[in-house]
Amino acid sequence: MKPALKIWIDGALVPASDAKVSVYDHGLLYGDGVFEGIRVYGGRIFKMKSHLERLWESAERIRLKPVYTPGEIERAMRETVSANGLKDAYIRLVITRGAGTLGLHPFRCPKPCTIVIADTIQLYPAELYERGMRVIVANRPRIPIACLDPAIKSLNYLNNILAKIEAIDADVLEAIMLNIDGEVSECTGDNIFCVAKGRILTPPESAGMLHGITRRFVIDTLGPALGIPVEERSMRLEDLYSADEVFLTGTAAEIIGVSAIGGRTIGSGGVGPVTKSLIAEFRSRVSKSAPED
Ligand code: PXG
């Protein structure tokens, strides 16, 4: 039998069945907290520094002060991965506001709750990486920056979940979300790119999106390594429909090609050559020695 998963919670490793949060935790009551999803490849925590920086930024934006230092969280992650005998893993790192009173007041929660889960993750089915994935366009717009900046990776994911339900209802696994001005922003759990006229294009952060770490890796490292220019440029749906290739990026998805958007075939309807090269470059880099910076 598989031994019970060990979870790190507030400084201690405990069996999953003992890892509990209070019913008064504002993470549960109000989605008041922040999180990260992080991959471990061959024992190396991919882009650990970037994930910790993003977590600290998200925490600061909601005025949550982490109990532990980034160094302590790093140790907790390594300890949790190794306690579970994992070499390739998915880490869910969560900081909730903590237990407080009923009522919104966040500063009546004296101590945030810190959780590290190390488990495996189900990627999209392997054959979709070969054939490409069908997606839809959600009717629901991405929440505007002025309301709740999507750059904050908060526990409040209902905007994404409602768009994900639109995707599931349409029998696909991901939905493209537009901002309230009709520009492409991102997907429910992935960032989006297209390839046109030999360039890799992706919407700018100002469109309102999570500043994805895989997205940044494509822009700063993979595109340049392949000698393909990358540009952040505002785009509308027509730009995606007429693109040669469309692909998505995310911690869970890595890089995956899009074959059709809402019944419109993209390019030749498979996975295009640039997307294939990016996937190969990504896999080669994480399997050799995944960067932890
Ligand atoms: N946009 C959103 C809204 C996300 O939640 C991304 C883009 C991609 O960002 P990264 O930093 O991962 O490249 C995300 C991340 C899941 C799952 O289980 C989703 C994410 C990460 C891990 C797991 O669907 N989304």
- Check pocket membership of 212 for ligand 1, CB cut-off 6 A: yes
Mutate which of 222, 251, 254 for ligand 1 pocket (most atoms within 8 A of beta carbon): 251
Which atom of ligand 1 is the closest one to the Cα of 54? 11
Spans in the chain with pLDDT lower than 70 = 1-2
- The residue annotated as part of the active site, out of 6, 47, 153, 164, is 153
- Check pocket membership of 16 for ligand 1, CB cut-off 6 A: no
Query: 126-289: which CATH number, 3.40.50.2000, 3.40.30.10, 3.20.10.10, 3.40.50.10470?
Result: 3.20.10.10
By the 10 Å C-beta count (0-12 exposed, 13-18 middle, 19+ buried), 172 is classed as middle
CATH fold for the domain made of 6-119: D-amino Acid Aminotransferase; Chain A, domain 1 (3.30.470)
CATH 3.20.10.10 residue ranges of the chain are 126-289
pLDDT, position 2: 66
By the 10 Å C-beta count (0-12 exposed, 13-18 middle, 19+ buried), 71 is classed as exposed
pLDDT, position 1: 54
pLDDT, position 219: 98
Stated pTM of the model: 0.96
Q: Which two tokens stand for residue 88?
A: 């390739």
Mark whether 153 is an active-site residue. Answer: yes
pLDDT, position 173: 95
- Check pocket membership of 186 for ligand 1, CB cut-off 6 A: yes
Cβ pair 215, 164 in contact under 8 A:
no
CATH 3.30.470.10 residue ranges of the chain are 6-119
- Beta carbons within 8 Å of 116's beta carbon, 6+ residues apart: 7, 8, 9, 73, 76, 77, 80, 91, 92, 93, 94
pLDDT, position 196: 98
